[in-house]
Structure 1
Amino acid sequence: MWNRVVVKKNERALLMSEGDFVKVLEPGVFRAFDPFGRLTVKTCQLDEPLADASLGEYLRCAATDVVSRYFVPMDLADTQVGLRYENDMLVEVLAPGTRRLYWQGQIAHRLETIDLRAGFALPQDLVTQLQLPALRTRATTGLAGVLLAHVPAYNVGVLKVDGKVERLLEPGVSGFWRYGRDVSVDLVDKRLQALEVSGQEILTRDKVTLRLTLAASWSYVDVLRAFGQLQKPVDHLYRELQFALRSAVGTRSLDELLENKQVIDESVIEQVRARMEGTGVDVRSVGVKDITLPGDMKTILAQVVEAEKAAQANVIRRREETAATRSLLNTAKVMEENPTALRLKELETLERIAERIDRISVFGGLDQVLNGLVSIKPT
């Protein structure tokens, strides 16, 4: 018939009669006569808020003296954000509309409120606090409603609120409230960048399929204008490079492209610069990295090149033969007019023949050799 409850120093207890609140039990031993088993006791930890939200609302309305004696109310309006401190340490960010009761006693609770109507940017000192959880024994919770944007060097951040571009963020860390709005930050590298358009299969004017890879270097000259006019500037530039490349290749024959590959670069950069003018994106240079032909076309071109080189070699051979014939004709004219030269030529010929054989048989004397029959019998 007697109930005995021990409440520890780091606890409080709620005495309930048939489920209805009676009073708060402080540390110590509680005894109560309960022959019909109507009393119950709920033990609560001092470092946790009151778990029964409906009981909390009842205490706020009908037992304000209990609230002021035992609790620290942390109630926020729909336009407020709360910073909850325990022993002067930030431990939690409370969302708008939060209503909690924290026990007094073991921990010094404190609440700071921030009005969301004053702006969606976090104070810089608060950003610094939220950045250093490793230096503390307890990390800050409730950060789902906070966006911390880290902008590295040589970059800027494009701040968008509900899909609208607001402003640029300089390198560093900035914080923004997400409650009631969609906040995002796109990082933009302001340095010179490279973009490659690879694997483009395009038909030339004479219906030959080419596979090309195009490389372009570009940079932002006005980031706000680029993101204000284009949803995704890089994707838009990629498509413009594709269209310009197809236009440059599709309006020319294979022979024209092979004779002057630079015409593709000049045509593409001229078209892309005209289309990207006023968008805040500057295209510095464009170049074709490689051109790949189909297998059968490679064979045909190899045969054409081989035939061209063979024809060139034949022309050179004929030219040399003509020159040699002309030289022989000139020599013959000299010998015809000068018998001594003819005789010297004959002796030179005989000398060359003698170098190739071991024995010469001469019949009829030297005159017969020079003027008649020469019989050579190698041994």
Structure 2
Amino acid sequence: MTKTVLHGNQCATIISVVKQYKRAVILRFGRVRSVSPAGPGIIWIIPCTDTVIIIDLRTQSFNVLPQEILTKDLVTVTVDAVVYFHVLKPLNCLLHVQSHKHATELLAVTILRNILGQYTLSDLLTNRESISQAVRKEIDNGTVEWGVEVERVEIKDVILPYELQKALAAEAEGTRIAKAKIIEAEGEIKAAENLRDASKIIMQKPQTILLRYLQSLNYIASQQKTTILFPFPIDIPDHQK
């Protein structure tokens, strides 16, 4: 908001209000005034001599367009990200770079491609958080001279080629099948060991085979109504043996 203060028939000064989340850089005859950056609140401007540039201090963001990245293990993937930043020093933002947002975007794209190319596909899929931190620090090192601070970088998506997705799915399925077979084989080994121990007990106590036989019949009969045929008479071991 601006308001003109008149003295006679001439315009002497202009009152302008700078909002809380903004700062004003005032140039008088092309030179930065000592009060810059001014605000928030009321600032005084002399027409025809002062030029005011308003700088927004709030967090801004931009999307990094999908970039094709060649990983360290020579796999081509498509990566897109989002960058959050804010202006920390309004004077540097105005005097050291023509467009701080556009320059930050170009720098983010370049650094994102360079850093992601140093990781393998496995690292890129499993270590997104640490990679995002590395990208943020590198971008921030480049923008500090412009008075811009990068708050965070988030890798939104890593898109794999369709053929590579099918190959990874087949590899994962094969790994699961191999693990299942190993577990099944280990179970067979343990079952064989238990049967071996059971046979030793039966050889020492022959009457236990009859108890096991009757237990098996009882289990079968309890499952469903059925007719069970079993040999009779049964040779009952002599308990005195």
Give 2:233's match in structure 1, choosing from 365, 368, 371.
Answer: 365
Contact 1:165/1:227, CA 8 A, preserved across alignment: no
Cα separation, 2, equivalents of 1:236 and 1:252: 25
Q: How many residues align structurally?
A: 229
1:82-161 pair list within 5 angstroms: 112-113=9-10, 123-124=13-14, 151-159=18-26
Q: Percent identity?
A: 25
Tell me how far 1:204 sits from its aligned partner: 1.4
1:136-215 pair list within 5 angstroms: 151-159=18-26, 167-171=36-40, 177-178=47-48, 185-215=52-82
Amino acid paired to 2:159: T
Cα separation, 2, equivalents of 1:170 and 1:363: 104
* TM-score using structure 2 length: 0.77
Amino acid paired to 1:243: T
Deviation string, structure 1 residues 12-32 (Cα, Å, up to 9, x no partner)? xxxxxxxxxxxxxxxxxxxxx
1:269-280 pair list within 5 angstroms: 269-280=136-147
> Which residue matches 1:374?
none
Larger radius of gyration: 1
Q: Call closer, same or farther: CA 1:262–1:160 in 2, change over 3 Å.
A: same
Cα separation, 1, equivalents of 2:28 and 2:179: 70
Tell me how far 1:162 sits from its aligned partner: 7.9
> Which residue matches 2:172?
305
Contact 2:60/2:86, CA 8 A, preserved across alignment: yes
Cα separation, 2, equivalents of 1:363 and 1:323: 31
Unmatched 5+ stretches in structure 1? 1-89, 91-110, 115-121, 128-148, 372-379
Larger proportion of strand: 1
Q: Call closer, same or farther: CA 1:353–1:364 in 2, change over 3 Å.
A: same
Q: Is the partner of 2:215 in helix, strand or coil?
A: helix
Amino acid paired to 1:365: P
Larger proportion of helix: 2
1:1-379 pair list within 5 angstroms: 112-113=9-10, 123-124=13-14, 151-159=18-26, 167-171=36-40, 177-178=47-48, 185-355=52-222, 358-360=226-228, 365-367=233-235
Q: Call closer, same or farther: CA 1:203–1:184 in 2, change over 3 Å.
A: farther
Q: Call closer, same or farther: CA 1:336–1:186 in 2, change over 3 Å.
A: farther
Q: Call closer, same or farther: CA 1:200–1:123 in 2, change over 3 Å.
A: same
Cα separation, 1, equivalents of 2:57 and 2:137: 23
Cα separation, 1, equivalents of 2:211 and 2:149: 80
Q: Is the partner of 1:269 in helix, strand or coil?
A: helix
Q: Call closer, same or farther: CA 1:187–1:315 in 2, change over 3 Å.
A: farther
Contact 2:69/2:76, CA 8 A, preserved across alignment: yes
Which structure is richer in relative contact order (CA contacts within 8 A, separation 6 or more)? 2
Unmatched 5+ stretches in structure 2? 1-5
Tell me how far 1:270 sits from its aligned partner: 2.6
Tell me how far 1:243 sits from its aligned partner: 1.7
Contact 1:200/1:213, CA 8 A, preserved across alignment: yes
Cα separation, 2, equivalents of 1:273 and 1:208: 28
Deviation string, structure 1 residues 272-315 (Cα, Å, up to 9, x no partner)? 23222343222222221221112222222222222222222222
CA RMSD after TM alignment: 3.2
Contact 1:202/1:246, CA 8 A, preserved across alignment: yes
Cα separation, 2, equivalents of 1:308 and 1:161: 72
Cα separation, 1, equivalents of 2:201 and 2:146: 81
